[in-house]
Chains A and B, each alone.
Chain A
Amino acid sequence: MFTEKLLHSLDKISQQKILLKGEFLLKEGQVENNIYFVKSGALRVFLLSEFEELTIRFGYEGSFITSLSSFIKGTPSEFYMEAIRKTTLKVIPKASLLQLVNEDTESLKQYIALLENLITQQIEREIDLLTVSPSERLKRVLDRSPNLFQQIPLKYIASYLRMTPETLSRIRNS
């Protein structure tokens, strides 16, 4: 699999980054030139409005994360990426990734499969946000990420689910 190959190649990439709790990996307006593999810890990606921080995605241990449209298009990021606790990352520059992708046809195919998977995830997320019932929204997310509450503080999960922490506590306990 491409992800395995990517993970394997990570051993050769020596650049590592350690963030303390609350430190930013990326701020709004900066251009993202890397993707990151989360070795340990957790991150959140959020959009800042005039009135609140809107959590849009989490980076769990063992997964890849980046500010996607900034990374793809080379445009300033709309999002902030912040460490939820002490987090260790492997840094993969865009050029290294693309080199790996274009090594052979099989890699390219698998990279496409990875992107396709990402597209279907985004559609799931779109359905989440259009789901009216808060308890149904929670259920949908827990079906995808059963260990969510073990990894992410409640207030960020509430923001991700577009509900208050109080509502989330209530529906979790009922």
Chain B
Amino acid sequence: MQIESNLLIDDLLNRTENATVAAWKFKELPMDQLQLKHNAETWSMLECIEHLNLYGDYYLVEIEKQILAQNGKSKSTIFKSGLIGNYFANLMLVKNGKLTKMKSPQDKNPIHSKLTITTIDRFLKQQERLKSLLIQARNIDLTKTKTAISLTKYIKLRLGDTFRFFIYHIERHILQAEKIHQN
């Protein structure tokens, strides 16, 4: 996949804004709905959001670190997706509004933790940080800048792919939370 960097950033900022608006709506819901579990093994709305926070704890720090390290260096205006990065990003992308079941790594699974409104507030703060990183990334080479991933230190992804993966992943679980609410 190849795209003009600014168009990719525009698209990702738009997706980020939509997820933020959805989270603000969640904030208005009564706590018992946010904590409701349809059965013991599936997540509540808050658990979906906390799962995203746990990923944010890793990726926001890593992305910021790599952006700061790259400042001022040469840049291309075209982003070329990598083979593995493109695969991961597409894996996360929601197709036709349908969610396929995926297994969460143990350390990113918030099930049975005690969660409250601060979970959503923290997510909203992370979204603000993400937005700021996307804007900063307009001046960064999205192909040449590499970021480590949370699963293994042996793979590094291109920043553009990491953003795509991370933001598609947010969309996926926001949709999951909305479906829990509708059921």
Chain A interfacial positions (CB closer than 8 Å to B): 22, 24, 27-28, 48-51, 53, 80
B122 & A50 in contact (Cβ 8 Å cutoff): yes
Tell me if B117 is interfacial: C-beta within 8 Å of chain A.
yes
B118 & A50 in contact (Cβ 8 Å cutoff): no
Residues from chain A with Cβ under 8 Å of B61 in the complex: 51
A50 & B126 in contact (Cβ 8 Å cutoff): yes
Tell me if B114 is interfacial: C-beta within 8 Å of chain A.
yes
Listed A/B pairs (24) with beta-carbon separation below 8 Å: A22-B114, A22-B116, A24-B117, A27-B117, A27-B121, A28-B121, A48-B118, A48-B121, A48-B122, A48-B125, A49-B122, A49-B125, A50-B60, A50-B122, A50-B125, A50-B126, A50-B128, A50-B129, A51-B56, A51-B57, A51-B61, A51-B122, A53-B118, A80-B118
Q: Determine how close the nearest CB of chain B comes to the CB of A156; give it in whole angstroms.
A: 14
Give the 9 A-B CB pairs with smallest separation, nearest first.
Answer: A50-B125, A50-B126, A50-B129, A51-B57, A48-B118, A48-B121, A48-B122, A28-B121, A50-B122
Chain B interfacial positions (CB closer than 8 Å to A): 56-57, 60-61, 114, 116-118, 121-122, 125-126, 128-129
Q: A22-B116, A27-B121, A80-B118 are in contact. List 18 more A-B contacts (CB 8 A).
A: A22-B114, A24-B117, A28-B121, A48-B118, A48-B121, A48-B122, A48-B125, A49-B122, A49-B125, A50-B122, A50-B125, A50-B126, A50-B128, A51-B56, A51-B57, A51-B61, A51-B122, A53-B118
- The answer, among A24, A50, A53, for a CB contact under 8 Å with B56, is A50
Residues from chain B with Cβ under 8 Å of A53 in the complex: 118
Residues from chain B with Cβ under 8 Å of A48 in the complex: 118, 121-122, 125
Closest to A29 in B: B121
Q: Determine how close the nearest CB of chain A comes to the CB of B79; give it in whole angstroms.
A: 26
Residues from chain A with Cβ under 8 Å of B128 in the complex: 50
Residues from chain A with Cβ under 8 Å of B125 in the complex: 48-50
Residues from chain A with Cβ under 8 Å of B56 in the complex: 50-51
Tell me the complex Cα distance, A137–B155, Å: 40
Tell me the complex Cα distance, A49–B118, Å: 10
Residues from chain A with Cβ under 8 Å of B117 in the complex: 24, 27
Q: Determine how close the nearest CB of chain A comes to the CB of B54; give it in whole angstroms.
A: 10
Residues from chain B with Cβ under 8 Å of A50 in the complex: 56, 60, 122, 125-126, 128-129
Tell me the complex Cα distance, A28–B126, Å: 16
Tell me the complex Cα distance, A60–B106, Å: 37
Tell me the complex Cα distance, A48–B116, Å: 13
Q: Determine how close the nearest CB of chain B comes to the CB of A76; give it in whole angstroms.
A: 13
Tell me the complex Cα distance, A28–B124, Å: 13
Residues from chain A with Cβ under 8 Å of B121 in the complex: 27-28, 48
Closest to A80 in B: B118
Closest to A22 in B: B116
Tell me the complex Cα distance, A22–B31, Å: 13
Tell me the complex Cα distance, A48–B128, Å: 14
Tell me the complex Cα distance, A171–B117, Å: 33
Closest to A23 in B: B116
Tell me the complex Cα distance, A145–B118, Å: 28
Q: Determine how close the nearest CB of chain B comes to the CB of A165; give it in whole angstroms.
A: 16
